[in-house]
Amino acid sequence: MTDQDIRGVSDRPVYAVEPWCVREPELRLDRLAQGESVFALSNGHVGLRGNLDEGEPHGLPGTYLNSFYEQRPLPYAEAGYGYPEQGQTIINVTNGKLIRLLVDDEPFDVRYGRLHRHERILDMRAGTLTREVEWTSPAKDRVRITSTRLVSLTQRAIAAICYEVEPVDETLRLVAQSELVANESLPDLGDDPRVAAVLEAPLVSEEHVHNGTRAILVHATRKSGLRMAAGMSHDIEGPGRMAVDAESFPDVGRMTVATQLEPGQKLRIVKYIAYGWSSQRSRPALHDQVVAALAAARHTGWDGLLKQQRDYLAEFWRGADIEIDGDAEIQQAVRFGLFHILQAGARAERRMIPAKGLTGPGYDGHTFWDTETFVLPVLTYTHPEAAADALAWRHMTLGLAHERAHQLGLAGAAFPWRTIRGQECSGYWPAGTAAFHINADIADAVVRYVDATQDVRFEREIGLPLMVETARLWRDLGHHDVEGVFRIDGITGPDEYSAVVDNNVYTNLMARRNLQEAASMAMRHPDLAERFGVSTDEAASWRNAAAAMLVPYDERLGVHPQSEGFTNHAKWDFASTKPDHYPLLLNFPYFDLYRKQVIKQADLVLAMHMCGEAFTSEQKRRNFEYYEGLTVRDSSLSAQSQAVMAAEVGQLDLAHDYLGETALMDLHDLARNTRDGLHIASMAGAWSGLVAGFGGMRAADGCLSFAPRLPGGISRLSFRMRYRGNRLRVTVRAESAVYELLEGPGLRLYHHGEEFTLGDEPAQFPIKPLPAMPRPVQPPGREPTPRRTDPHQREVPAAAFGSAESDGLP
């Protein structure tokens, strides 16, 4: 294969469509950065981008530690009170992925010589990235290379690589260099404000040592006051004599092994990599921590790490797997999304879940409200321990949220719009100051988790403090007007094309729930409520505010305005907007967007999903149709909410189209920015679109309800979930749904409003067909791409490719 062959053609599919893996059958240099994000491995603590083992070529090198960041100033043309002065940016830490190879003194580099074969496979049941290469050097020496990489889900500090090389035709002299490299040079990421700021050489060396096949580097950041250690150790196997050497420098640790191999012989290097960081621990303590982690990993061994990884994932899939007949791309995408969501939170352990996980530097590595709103629901019903950890991290930052509220002259806590450590890092004040709905999003995630798990200890130690302080902010932020109506004025809702509005419906409904649930939780735990200073009068004031909450409604149009007065604005001139002028925020001034009816991401539609009880079925239908004509989806967060609500109002094929957009955001690089990291919340939308959309799943007050219906392109949907100690499976076909209890004591369920108790015996119910309805119209050129699946794929059931059952899981 020539260099031209390697570059490929940009419109060819990059990845093969397979149910349990993502396979790249050939190297595409034009999509290299996208692949580095797609093939990223993480456990929520350590993240490795899917860079090539030899390090070059690369799109964007990346190795990340959760919450390890550097500070940078936030400049303003005009300063304002309450503007954050310091930003936080995730940094590329010491790279331990590197294994360079020389074949008779010729460096292995896919851009030179001839690449006969290059395949990479992300295996979502094994939790590994495997690469197989056959390459002839410019000097005509041919080698075969296989590498398998993992980031351990069971040993939090550990990543490991098994690297094997063998000559194909003749005896060759081979030299492998395994490295740790700090302060790598990064490419220019451009001017897109969504892309991370590049920091030059952010790490300062404090220690470098080597011994045998082991090397340790310790560095500190220049400004944020954080310290990290990275270490590597090796097991080496090969025939005959080998020369092994190690060396270290301030930013480099290197182990070199040289040998001569005949065809049929193989050099095998197992590289163990360990990371640790702290804002308080000393250099010797971090050094020792990494040494201990390496010792534990070597004791487990490569085969042991592989087994632990597969066992961990098998248990996850037993309560999370989704099977689809009729759309093979969605089948792959939903498992891909679940795998990366698990990777983002599995071992975060009281750290945040960033918008990109640990797959890239996009959004500076920050977490946003979409973690609680979109990602945590998936984890709550599939891997609840990770959801609890993410909320425990919010609790750890409560003091900083108190300080922010005090700075803004408010009671309670004001959580940041975007952050790494807990301080507000948004230099855009309509969001960073006015988007208070983040408080209610956190409270909703608390209520959802407690309902799903009945975790009383969490409720007392984590949940109640968060609920109390968020409720206090709403009570102070809003006010009763002369008619006694409770208003929340001058805030920004989820839609970023509207800002500083009065009575955003989503915000008011979510705040209402926050106030109600905080009062109820305080009543359940009066001893703790008294400790937090919650009086009977204060709890009563929360209930009064909730009962009097203003929810605007436009009687003239028969729809809910997104915020008070929104439907009186002029509509955006969609017909005159050129296709290349999207996203609008990069081509039009905000003042023009703010005063028009145009929506970046679903807002009122999201309110109908999250607070469905506040709307009648007819209101949902009318609202959905109205806002379809205004939503341009310049945000990757829109399609999943539209998919869920399209399914609920009976627009099943449209829901399928939106499901495709949210599920395939990164595998198809729909936003053309997957290079900066995966869209974790968008991938969560694949689960939401299937489970909450076509499954119609809603949960509250100890009860699960389902209203399943399938689009024409999907003949069967089966999904698993966990709820209150139960593990259940729901299987939906066009005519009926079957509910099965796989594990647990049983529970009360609803099927299209009909109550039943699920026990040892499966329960089957019919599904009534819906009447055909006209399809709503979207802005010109902003329609979702129709799902056109291969009719032959529709005939092949997902179970034929392997499922949780075929893996021996009940």
pLDDT in tens, 294-331: 999 999 999 999 999 999 999 999 999 999 999 999 99
To the nearest whole percent, how much of the chain has pLDDT over 90? 91
Q: Which of 4-18, 46-60, 542-556, 619-633 shows the lowest per-residue confidence on average (mean pLDDT)?
A: 4-18
> Which residues lie below 8 Å from residue 16, measured CB to CB, with a gap of 6+?
22, 23, 24, 25
What is the average per-residue pLDDT within 733-758? Answer: 97
pTM of structure: 0.95
- Per-residue pLDDT at 78: 84
pLDDT surpasses 50 at 791: no
DSSP category for residue 703: E
More confident residue, 790 or 116: 116
- How is residue 304 written in tokens? 């042991």
Rounded to an integer, the average pLDDT of 585-591 is 94
Under a CB-based contact definition with an 8 Å cutoff, are residues 714 and 746 in contact? no
Interstrand relation of 142-151 and 596-597 (parallel, antiparallel or unpaired):
unpaired
pLDDT at 11: 58
pLDDT digits (tens, 9 = 90+) for 405-420: 999 999 999 999 999 9
**In which band, very low, low, confident or very high, does the pLDDT at 800 lie, cut at 50, 70 and 90?**
very low
pLDDT of 74: 87
Strand partners, 721: 728
Confidence of residue 76 (pLDDT cuts 50, 70, 90): confident
Give mean pLDDT, residues 448-471. 98
CA dist 47 → 158, 346, 637, 676 (Å): 10, 12, 23, 14
Provide the pLDDT for residue 511. Answer: 98
What integer pLDDT is reported at residue 189 of this predicted model? 53
Q: What percentage of the chain reaches a pLDDT higher than 70?
A: 94
CA dihedral 343, 346, 349, 353 (to 10 degrees): 40
Cα–Cα dist 537/755, whole Å = 38
pLDDT tens string 134-160: 999 999 999 999 999 999 999 999 999
What tokens were used for 619? 């209101």
Active site residues: 496
pLDDT value of position 192: 44
| 420-423 CB contacts, 8 Å cutoff, 24+ apart | 420/67, 420/69, 420/88, 420/89, 420/90, 420/352, 420/354, 420/364, 420/365, 420/366, 420/367, 421/67, 421/69, 421/88, 421/397, 422/396, 422/397, 423/84, 423/86, 423/88
- CB neighbour burial string for 607-630, b if at least 16 within 10 angstroms, e if fewer: bbbbbbebbeeeebbbbbbbbbeb
CA distance 272 to 348: 20
Degrees to nearest 5, angle at CA 367 with 366 and 371:
155
Q: Is the pLDDT at 685 greater than 80, yes or no?
A: yes
Asked if residue 561 has a cis previous peptide bond (ω within 30° of 0), the answer is no
CA distance 195 to 189: 7
Report the alpha-carbon distance of residue 665 to residue 776 in Å, rounded: 23
- Mean pLDDT across 577-604: 96
Whether residue 61 has pLDDT greater than 60:
yes
Q: How confident is the prediction for the chain on average, in pLDDT?
A: 94
What confidence tier does 796 reach under pLDDT thresholds 50, 70, 90?
very low
d(CA 328, CA 317): 18
Least confident piece of the model among 76-80, 275-279, 649-653:
76-80
The mean per-residue pLDDT over the stretch 371-387 comes to 98
Q: Judge whether residue 350 has pLDDT over 60.
A: yes
Give pLDDT, residue 420: 97
Looking at residue 48, its pLDDT comes to 98
Residue 368 identity: F
- Cα–Cα distance measured from residue 633 to residue 464, given in angstroms and rounded to the nearest whole number: 36
Q: Which helix (H) or strand (E) holds 765?
A: strand 763-766
pLDDT band at 481 (very low <50, low <70, confident <90, very high): very high
- Amino acid at position 125, single letter: R
Strand order in the sheet with 41-42: 41-42, 46-48, 63-65
- What does the alpha-carbon distance between residue 718 and residue 664 come to, in Å, rounded to a whole number? 20
Residue 285 to residue 251: CA distance in whole angstroms: 20
**Cα-based torsion angle of the residue sequence 589, 594, 596, 598 in order, rounded to the nearest 10 degrees:** 90
Query: What CATH number should be reported for the domain whose range is 3-293+307-316?
Result: 2.70.98.40
